[in-house]
């Protein structure tokens, strides 16, 4: 069978190492495998009198032959690791992990107590009994590893001998334990440890990731500690996270208090007796009108809603439905109604619905929905209030199930009030660590009261260009989260957060992000292509990453709500619009043109075939009191500043696309000229002249000396600093 050779590491006095290279049959292994075989070695600092030992003197080699029996392998490794050298002695106890499977042998090194040696060795020696369940094992041995001074060579030699004896004694003890029945359980436990370490340190980078995320680099020792910590089922949650901007779930739960429902205005009622008298009168008019047009149908029942009353028409056998729909204008004339809406037929029923505006409309207050069981019993922090249906039933929705929404309607139809209801619902349902809000308000007045909330991801954005950069930041955050999900081996943010909480790593829990754009038309006018691309990417991919988008506009035209945007937003909310064309733009069906305004809406949920009519909730005067209550509990922790993003974008736009390549070129030259840049980069005179002017303004080259070439001040060190700065901006 093949042999695997480990070359290095070469120790230095500054507790670091060089040249940890793995080779097989004389060829370097792939980089991904070398990263997995990375050996982290902790060495003690030498004494002041210790001579500087040449690096080559600390060079040693470990030879692992997979064809040998496990017991023989255990006996040969300590001798290989403790092989004496002419110019260096070793005294610090070092633990080396070998993870063995059918294809490769992996090596890790770290400081571990001697008492931890036996269990890992037992996992390999007893691998036959657990072969059906495992595919790797952990094997541990000891060696010495710190250079000492020549004056203490005799003492150090004794320590080396003692270390070798300790290793041999450990091996003997392990062999004695192999016959114990308890070894089987220990072997399985330690295999799980080894496999967990391997998964943590070897994660395939997904191709969709563009920028490197800020993932913690864990050593083997840290990974092993994390594994032991996750096994403690009843362990207490840690306190504050190491970052000042991170608040743990437990501490937030104790500090943050949800607003009281008493801050909301009480529900209102109408005179039901007067409404019934009016409804009976409408029933009589409908029956008489249908009979006048020789339609064999009559009103079967009616339902009084907050804004409209639905009359259910029962048709005689053989009567076509279109006989009712063709009478739309005639019925509106007979009823003297402002407008009517015919639903033919009502989904799930054998009747046709005719909806007529109420004589007395009732305002649905937000408290009516937030006090309902549907909202109170929902466990999702993304639960929001929608309104009530025709039967007066409170309706709620989970943004996570939407997962993105389009809200459209004419001015004064109730869009902004609906957005306020969503935001207040989130304040009553979600902790600041559970949900983060990114609010974009080009009108600069609708969402201004929410500035300073601890739930905010950034200050409320009113500049359309800054909003485009904020959406770009969100796309990068989405890619970053996907890499974290891939590294953790989970499919969505819910599984990731559950695993982080189970391990006690509350600082790694990722909050949901809800983006609300109050007026999309303003953004599309300033940066149409960019905004459309960012929205398309977010709506296509961001659901599993816990990022959700709600877009509102008062101009539901195809140049604002493009096909790309609409196709990726399954949930639609249509308020009153001017024409049937606008209704079809939003819902792909007619009906919104017959709504009454003031919160009257058609809600098309994700996966639903037909929209349902709802009356939206009203919340206006109590917003300030609720927001003030939340603000006083804790300050916001913004993750980015929109102004800084905008400045960085402006600086990036002002720089030529090949400016970095020009810097790489001049760093290796002594002189440069406009004509030289033209020839080297195959560009025109004007562009080359602009690049020369930019280089001069940054003092990278000298000023003009007639027709002579410019002297170059830009060095390779300057190039390296420039490149590092560019990477930091990504």
- In the annotated binding site for ATP, the residues are 409-416
Residue 649, burial from CB neighbour count under 10 angstroms (0-12, 13-18, 19+): middle
Nearest to 358 by CA among 303, 413, 418, 298: 303
CB 237 within 8 A of CB 248: yes
List all residues 6 or more positions away from 200 whose beta carbon is below 8 Å from its beta carbon: 218, 223, 226
Residue 57, burial from CB neighbour count under 10 angstroms (0-12, 13-18, 19+): middle
CA dist 312 and 351 (Å) reads: 6
Counts of helices then strands in the chain (DSSP H, E): 25, 24
Helix axes 70-81, 117-125, angle to 10 degrees: 140
CA dist 58 and 11 (Å) reads: 6
CA dist 504 and 235 (Å) reads: 8
List all residues 6 or more positions away from 647 whose beta carbon is below 8 Å from its beta carbon: none
CA dist 143 and 442 (Å) reads: 66
CA dist 298 and 316 (Å) reads: 9
CA dist 311 and 351 (Å) reads: 9
Structure tokens at 61: 């080699």
Provide the CA 691 distance to its chain's centre, in angstroms.
Answer: 39
- Give percent helix, percent strand, percent coil of the chain, each to the nearest 5: 40, 15, 40
Exposure string of 300-331, with b = 16+ CB inside 10 Å and e = fewer, is: eebbbbbbbbbbbbebeeebeeebbeebeeeb
CB 649 within 8 A of CB 465: yes
> 582 — alpha (psi -120 to 50), left (phi > 0) or beta?
alpha
The annotated binding site is made up of: 409-416
Q: Which helix (H) or strand (E) holds 468?
A: helix 464-488
Structure tokens at 295: 């339609």
Structure tokens at 11: 């120790």
């Amino acid at each position: 069978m093949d042999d695997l050779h480990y070359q290095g590491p070469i120790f230095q006095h500054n507790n670091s190492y060089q040249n940890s290279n793995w080779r097989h049959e004389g060829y370097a292994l792939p980089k991904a495998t070398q990263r997995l075989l990375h050996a982290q070695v902790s060495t003690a600092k030498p004494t002041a009198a210790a001579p500087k030992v040449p690096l080559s003197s600390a060079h040693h080699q470990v030879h692992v032959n997979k064809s040998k029996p496990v017991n023989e392998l255990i006996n040969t490794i300590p001798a290989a690791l403790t092989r004496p050298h002419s110019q260096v002695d070793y005294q610090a106890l070092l633990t080396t992990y070998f993870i063995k499977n059918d294809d490769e042998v992996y090596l890790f090194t770290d400081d571990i107590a001697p008492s931890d040696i036996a269990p890992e060795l037992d996992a390999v020696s007893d691998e036959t009994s657990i072969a059906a369940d495992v595919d790797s094992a952990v094997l541990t041995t000891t060696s010495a590893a710190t250079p000492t001074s020549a004056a203490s060579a005799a003492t150090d030699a004794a320590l080396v001998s003692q270390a070798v004896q300790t290793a041999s004694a450990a091996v003997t003890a392990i062999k004695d334990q192999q016959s114990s029945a308890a070894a089987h359980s220990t072997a399985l436990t330690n295999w799980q440890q080894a496999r967990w370490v391997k998964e943590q340190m070897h994660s395939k980078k997904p191709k969709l990731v563009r920028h490197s995320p800020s993932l913690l680099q864990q050593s083997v020792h840290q990974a092993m500690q994390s594994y032991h910590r996750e096994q403690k089922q009843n362990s207490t949650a840690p306190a504050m996270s190491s970052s000042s901007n991170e608040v743990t779930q437990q501490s937030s739960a104790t500090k943050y208090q949800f607003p009281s429902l008493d801050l909301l205005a009480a529900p209102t009622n109408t005179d039901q007796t007067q409404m019934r008298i009016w409804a009976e009168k409408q029933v009589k008019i409908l029956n008489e009108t249908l009979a006048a047009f020789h339609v064999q149908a009559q009103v079967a029942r009616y339902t009084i809603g907050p804004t409209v009353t639905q009359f259910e028409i029962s048709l005689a056998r053989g009567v076509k439905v279109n006989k009712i729909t063709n009478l739309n204008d005639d019925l509106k004339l007979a009823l003297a109604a402002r407008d009517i809406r015919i639903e033919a037929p009502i989904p799930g029923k054998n009747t046709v619905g005719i909806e007529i505006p109420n004589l007395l409309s009732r305002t649905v207050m937000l408290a009516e929905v937030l006090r309902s069981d549907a909202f109170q019993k929902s466990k999702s922090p993304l639960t929001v209030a929608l309104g009530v249906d025709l039967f007066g039933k409170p309706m709620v929705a989970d943004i996570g199930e939407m997962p993105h929404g389009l809200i459209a309607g004419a001015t004064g139809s109730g869009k902004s009030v609906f957005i306020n209801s969503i935001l207040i619902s989130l304040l009553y349902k979600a902790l600041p660590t559970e949900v983060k809000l990114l609010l974009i308000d080009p009108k600069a007045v609708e969402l201004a009261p929410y500035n300073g909330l601890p739930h905010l991801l950034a200050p409320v954005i009113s500049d359309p260009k800054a909003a485009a950069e904020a959406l770009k930041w969100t796309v990068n955050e989405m890619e970053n989260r996907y890499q974290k999900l891939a590294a953790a081996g989970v499919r969505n943010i819910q599984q990731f957060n559950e695993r982080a909480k189970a391990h006690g790593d509350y600082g790694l829990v990722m909050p949901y992000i809800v983006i609300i754009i109050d007026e999309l038309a303003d953004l599309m006018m300033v940066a149409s292509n960019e905004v459309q691309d960012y929205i398309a990417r977010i709506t296509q991919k961001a659901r599993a990453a816990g990022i959700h988008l709600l877009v509102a506009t008062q101009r539901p035209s195809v140049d604002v709500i493009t096909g790309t945007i609409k196709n990726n937003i399954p949930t639609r909310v249509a308020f009153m619009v001017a024409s049937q064309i606008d209704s079809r733009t939003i819902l792909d069906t007619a009906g919104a043109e017959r709504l009454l305004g003031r919160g009257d809406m058609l809600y098309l949920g994700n996966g639903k075939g037909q929209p349902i009519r709802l009356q939206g909730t009203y919340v206006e005067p109590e917003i300030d009191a609720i927001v003030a209550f939340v603000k006083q509990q804790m300050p916001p922790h913004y993750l980015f500043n929109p102004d800084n993003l905008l400045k960085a974008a402006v600086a990036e736009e002002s720089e030529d696309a090949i400016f970095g390549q020009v810097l790489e070129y001049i760093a290796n030259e002594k002189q440069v000229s406009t004509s030289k840049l033209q020839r080297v980069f195959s560009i025109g005179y004007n562009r080359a002249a602009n690049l020369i002017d930019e280089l001069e303004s940054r003092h990278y080259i000298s000023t003009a000396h007639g027709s002579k070439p410019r002297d170059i001040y830009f060095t390779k060190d300057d190039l390296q600093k420039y490149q590092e700065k560019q990477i930091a901006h990504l």
